[in-house]
Amino acid sequence: MPSGRYAGWFARDLPTLSRVTKVLLPLPDDAVNQPTQVIIPMDCFHNLASLDDRTYQIVNTSVAKRFGSQAIDNMNLGDFISNNVPSIGKFIADFSESELVPSVPALSVMSNAFLGLVRSQLKANHGEWVNSVNPNLGPGLREGIHEAIALGDNAPLEDFQAIRAEFKSALAALLKDHGILAIPTVPGPPPVVGMEAAALANYQARAFSLQSIAVLSGFCQVSIPLGTRNGVPVSVSLLARHGADHFLLNVAHELYQTLIDEATKAWAS
């Protein structure tokens, strides 16, 4: 399956999501619903999410109530990646120096690797067709596809593939069988119509940084809606190792109502 193309599904509630998952993923049942650890990385929530949403506090309080404070690890994910994914070393300085807005440079490298792999595969699979047919593509999509085809041959693919393999191995060693990683689902409220190009590009870059975690590692992810804040939907995401989908949903069931309760309290104050 090409990089960045993974199956996903939506449901109106967790019981429905679990039933659909059992049909689509006939994996062995996992009765475990207590994680050995829940990593809630401070850098991801402080630099890649809206502080006004208070999701960092909401997730920490909820996990402490359901699983105990001893299960929580607030490590910086960027530091972990820098220390355990050797191949990002040649790229990290460029991102650290060029990004003036709050970011997690190590995740920016991961996002760049993800986009590089996608561009290369897009050119290999569809470049000839795009150049010969010149399809009528919408704005944004058109520029993105032509840029991917133009840059496809220039991407350091071996480096990107090494980054993906090292990251998957490092994250698997970190979470083990029954660990959970909690991250913001998106970097705050969605872009507004007419947003300046630079601000939109920054939003997209931060969104790709968050999305690249599951995409490059192949880990399963569930996004949990917490409600609306100032008229905008807010959610958090939980990730678990590849193949641990049923365990991940078990944890989501255990945590869901507490997350909702804590979000209601936080947003009422």
Per-residue pLDDT of the chain (269 residues; tens, 9 = 90+): 445 556 788 898 989 998 898 888 887 777 778 999 999 999 999 988 888 999 999 999 999 999 999 999 999 999 999 999 998 887 776 665 555 456 788 898 888 887 777 777 778 788 888 888 888 888 777 777 877 777 655 657 788 888 889 999 999 999 999 999 999 999 988 888 888 888 888 888 889 899 999 999 999 999 999 999 989 999 999 999 999 999 999 999 999 999 999 999 999 97
First to last CA, the chain: 46
Distances in whole angstroms, Cα of residue 206 to Cα of each of 103, 106, 179, 210, 212: 7, 12, 24, 7, 10
134: left (phi over 0), alpha (psi -120 to 50) or beta: left
Crossing angle of helices 77-84 and 105-133, rounded to 10°: 80
* Separation between Cα atoms, residue 80 and residue 115, nearest integer Å: 21
The verdict on residue 4 lying in a domain is no
Cβ atoms 250, 267 nearer than 8 A: no
Cβ atoms 215, 6 nearer than 8 A: yes
Q: What is the 3-state secondary structure (H, E, C) of 34-86?
A: CCCEEECCHHHHHHHCCHHHCHHHHHHHHHHHHHCHHHEECCCHHHHHHHHCH
The verdict on residue 104 lying in a domain is no
Question: According to the model, what pLDDT value does residue 100 have?
Answer: 45
Question: According to the model, what pLDDT value does residue 267 have?
Answer: 95
The verdict on residue 153 lying in a domain is no
Question: According to the model, what pLDDT value does residue 153 have?
Answer: 56
The verdict on residue 120 lying in a domain is no
The structure tokens listed for 211 are 């999305």
The verdict on residue 232 lying in a domain is yes
Question: What are φ and ψ of residue 184, in 5° steps?
Answer: -65, 145
The structure tokens listed for 52 are 């006004």
Burial class (CB in 10 A: 0-12, 13-18, 19+), 84: middle
Number of domains making up the chain: 1
Question: According to the model, what pLDDT value does residue 1 have?
Answer: 42
Question: 182: closest CA among 221, 217, 209?
Answer: 221
The verdict on residue 230 lying in a domain is yes
Q: Which CATH number do you get for residue 229?
A: 3.90.1300.10
The verdict on residue 100 lying in a domain is no
The verdict on residue 48 lying in a domain is yes
Per-residue burial over 205-229, b if 16 or more Cβ lie within 10 Å, else e, is: bbbbbbbbbbbbbebbbbebebeeb
Domain extent for 254: 14-89+164-268
Q: What ranges in the chain are assigned the alpha helix state H?
A: 14-24, 42-48, 55-67, 77-84, 89-98, 105-133, 141-151, 157-175, 197-217, 245-268
* Separation between Cα atoms, residue 46 and residue 218, nearest integer Å: 25
